[in-house]
């Protein structure tokens, strides 16, 4: 079986102009981030404009045409942004209702306890060490999931504990860590208000999502 690294090497070997490819990929990635879609323009048209610019030729379009096109692009992007925001708001309302119901049902599960703000937790293993303060830096192992079981982040999978100041993580973590003792492992069920709220953390965490974490407090640094 070919390893991922070998597959990338084979692909790179087929690119005759690697500088051109790099520039094209970089520009294309930037376009995607700005909201452009592949159907907005043709590669041929873009290549013609690129060649004219590199050759320091006068543009093939008049100043009036260039200004008109710039206005169309701005209007198109504003419309897409508005549509995206409307969709996020709709998704946020739906997720808020789902999250509230999920937490209500989860609260009935045996062993689930609740802290302030609606933070739910379950003790998997109780430690015997000290508890950190908001000013302390800690080392933890964790796995973060959505309520559907999808993993969005995991120090365990990376094989490297995470280290950070307690006071600089999401509020749900702050509340839990200061109650945990070194050596403890808890399951956390964090309501959106104590996580990423109505904005979410794209692309993996949507608006008003409940987050499920398995957190092991390894040490206070």
Measuring CA to CA, which residue among 219, 207, 211, 210 is closest to residue 86? 207
Return the residue matching tokens 């999931």. 145
Measuring CA to CA, which residue among 47, 221, 41, 35 is closest to residue 136? 221
Q: Which of 142, 189, 190, 205 is catalytic?
A: 142
Q: Is residue 153 among the annotated active site residues?
A: yes
Q: Is residue 152 among the annotated active site residues?
A: yes
Q: Is residue 21 among the annotated active site residues?
A: no
Q: Which of 73, 112, 170, 220 is catalytic?
A: 170
Q: Is residue 142 among the annotated active site residues?
A: yes
Q: Is residue 213 among the annotated active site residues?
A: yes
Q: Which of 31, 36, 52, 153 is catalytic?
A: 153
Q: Which of 31, 36, 52, 152 is catalytic?
A: 152
Q: Is residue 121 among the annotated active site residues?
A: no
Q: Which of 121, 189, 190, 196 is catalytic?
A: 196
HEC per residue, the chain: CCCHHHHHHHHHHCCCCHHHHHHHHHHHHHHHHHCCCCCCCCHHHHHHHHHHHHCCCCCCCCHHHHHHHHHHHHHHHHHHHHHHHHHHHHHHHHHHHHHHHHHHHHCCCCCCEECHHHCEEEEEECCCCCCCCCCCEEEEEEEEEECCCCEEEEHHHHCCCEEEEHHHCCHHHHHHHCCCCCCCEEEEEECHHHCCHHHCECCCECCCCCEEEEEEEEEEC
Neighbours of 68 (CB within 10 A): 12
Question: Which residues have a catalytic role annotated?
Answer: 142, 152-153, 170, 196, 213
């Amino acid at each position: 079986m070919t390893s991922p690294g070998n597959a990338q090497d084979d692909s790179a070997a087929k690119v005759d102009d690697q500088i051109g490819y790099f520039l094209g990929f970089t520009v294309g990635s930037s376009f995607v981030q700005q909201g452009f879609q592949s159907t907005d323009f043709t590669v041929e048209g873009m290549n013609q404009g690129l060649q004219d610019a590199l050759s320091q030729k006068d543009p093939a379009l008049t100043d009036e045409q260039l200004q008109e096109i710039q206005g169309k692009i701005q209007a198109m992007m504003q419309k897409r942004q508005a549509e995206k925001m409307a969709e996020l708001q709709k998704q946020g309302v739906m997720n808020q209702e789902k999250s509230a119901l999920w937490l209500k049902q989860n609260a009935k599960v045996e062993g689930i306890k609740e802290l302030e703000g609606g933070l739910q937790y379950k003790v998997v293993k109780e430690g015997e060490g000290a508890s950190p303060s908001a000013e302390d830096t800690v080392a933890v192992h964790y796995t973060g999931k959505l309520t559907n079981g999808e993993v969005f982040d995991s120090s365990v999978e990376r094989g490297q504990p995470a280290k950070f100041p307690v006071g600089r993580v999401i509020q749900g973590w702050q509340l839990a860590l200061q109650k945990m003792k070194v050596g403890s492992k808890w399951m956390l069920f964090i309501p959106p208000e104590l996580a990423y709220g109505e904005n979410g953390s794209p692309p993996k965490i949507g608006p008003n999502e409940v987050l499920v974490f398995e957190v092991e407090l390894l040490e206070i640094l």
